[in-house]
Structure 1
Amino acid sequence: MLEKTMIELYHEIVRRFCMKCKLIINKEHEEEVLIYAHRRTRLTDEIEKLVADGSKEIIGYIEREAYKLSFAEITCFVVEDNNVYALTDKGKLRLRLRLYQIEKIIDGSFIKINQSCIANIKEMKKFDATISGTLTVTFKNGYSEYVSRRNIKKVKERLGV
């Protein structure tokens, strides 16, 4: 999953910043990211954070089986029936953490969109606004969740809308 994210980052660097980029995929060497830059920028900080965040993991459960999940593969964290779940392409995995505990350990690619959902910004696909002013986000995997009015402004700011 990190490899896909690095490729997406590579394309973004070329598209937005016209930096010279070189991506070498070689399974015989240890993975590393080297950045040659004239100064520290928001982009260099984001690259460092992405590389560091790729190693963060959380444990999720499907029945009695435990699975390691990296934050990059999690679409969102939701609360259902007083249980917290991580939604991924693997399915819905139950966590043994409360939502407020997850808020303390997540990285900058997540944002709280309502009282019972923390969403991965990188997994958001589209937004639908209704006449009444509510906003619904649809994720790449097809799952939809509403954005509370309290959080609409924060979500728009984070997305640059």
Structure 2
Amino acid sequence: MEKFIVRHRKDSDHMKVEISIDPTYQEPKVIILTDKVTDDIEHLMQSIAAVAESTLPVFSHKGVELIDSKEIVRIYTEQKKVFVQTINGVYTVRFRLYELEEKLNPHMFIRISNAEMVNRHMIKRMDISKTGTIGVELKNGIKTYASRRYVSKIKKFLGI
């Protein structure tokens, strides 16, 4: 296990930041040890939470990577695995789809079937047929379909 210690001085206050690299951890964990919650600590907690909500740990051939949720085109399940597709590639995650639905920004991601969620900002075009199905074309050229039971939820989400 590698350990890095950074000392930060601000006037008479001291803040010590430690980073421990431990391969047994599957995702980053932040612990703040303090005697009281100050405005600086509150700001630090909000900053960490904002970064945590906007990034997602994924697995690639390079190991664990953190991707920005804005880069995600879609998230889908296939053969009992969950995949995250960005414009740059496809990654695996150790979350279930419902966990990602709770974790990611609900104003950005919409569930279109039991097996798929899409980033609303990555939707290029939707084809709503008279039979009620919705074909979804994403910005990276991927074409997918919303299941019939999600159609009304999608229409409400998009305001159509």
Classify the TM-score, shorter chain.
Answer: 0.5 to 0.7
Unaligned runs of 5+ in 2: 1-49
Residue in 1 that maps onto 2:88: 90
CA contact (8 A) 2:57 2:65 kept: yes
Per-residue CA deviation, residues 116-142 of structure 1 (Å, 9 max, x unaligned), is 001111110101234533111010111
CA contact (8 A) 2:132 2:151 kept: no
Correspondences of 1:74-153 after superposition (within 5 Å)? 74-108=72-106, 109-153=108-152
Query: For structure 1, which segment, 59-68 or 144-153, has the greater mean C-alpha deviation from structure 2 after superposition?
Result: 59-68
1:55 Cα offset (Å): 5.9
Aligned pair in 2 of structure 1 residues 76, 53: CA closer, same or farther (>3 Å)?
farther
Q: Which 4+ residue blocks in structure 1 deviate beyond 2 angstroms?
A: 52-55, 129-133
Distance 1:103 1:88 in 2: 17
Paired position in structure 2 for 1:159: 158
CA distance, structure 2, for counterparts of residue 75 and residue 82 of structure 1: 20
Q: Assess if the C-alpha contact under 8 Å between 1:53 and 1:71 holds in 2.
A: no
Task: Name the count of aligned residue pairs.
Answer: 110
Higher strand share goes to which structure?
Answer: 2
Query: TM-score scaled to structure 1, two decimals?
Result: 0.63
The CA deviation string for residues 15-61 of structure 1, in whole angstroms up to 9 with x for no partner, is: xxxxxxxxxxxxxxxxxxxxxxxxxxxxxxxxxxxxx5796211111
What whole-Å deviation, never above 9, does each CA across 1:47-95 have from its counterpart, x for those lacking one?
xxxxx57962111112352221111110111001110011101111011
Q: In structure 1, what is the equivalent of residue 63 of structure 2? A: 65
Secondary structure of 1:158's aligned partner: helix
Give the aligned CA root-mean-square deviation in angstroms: 1.8
Percent of paired sites with the same residue: 29
Q: Aligned AA for 1:79?
A: T
